Structure 1
């Protein structure tokens, strides 16, 4: 896998994370990722979305480093 592809995947995951953080965390941008995760996990829909994002991040990391 080329370095540009890995960088593109990482940028895409970060942008997706920020988009979901903006949408689920009450429409406000949080100061840090830990604050965003706490706000997302504090409501039922946010908790499910957070678990899906963590699973997606783990899958991307597995594909990027072990295939």
Structure 2
């Protein structure tokens, strides 16, 4: 899967500043479409996690 596709999925999910469980699952499905997650995709996921830890993004159901 192209990194831009994963990046776009993350950006769409975070438009409202929140990340739902469904949005998180969707991003992971997009990442695993090709069967292998690239280092670039892992980096995008880590950036997302960092934003959550810093409180820039909140989690919701």
What is the TM-score when the length of structure 1 is the normalising length?
Answer: 0.39
Task: State the structure with more CA Rg.
Answer: 1
| The structure with more helix, counted as a fraction of residues | 1
Higher relative contact order (CA 8 A, sep 6+): 2
More strand by share: 2
User: TM-score with structure 2 length normalisation?
Assistant: 0.42
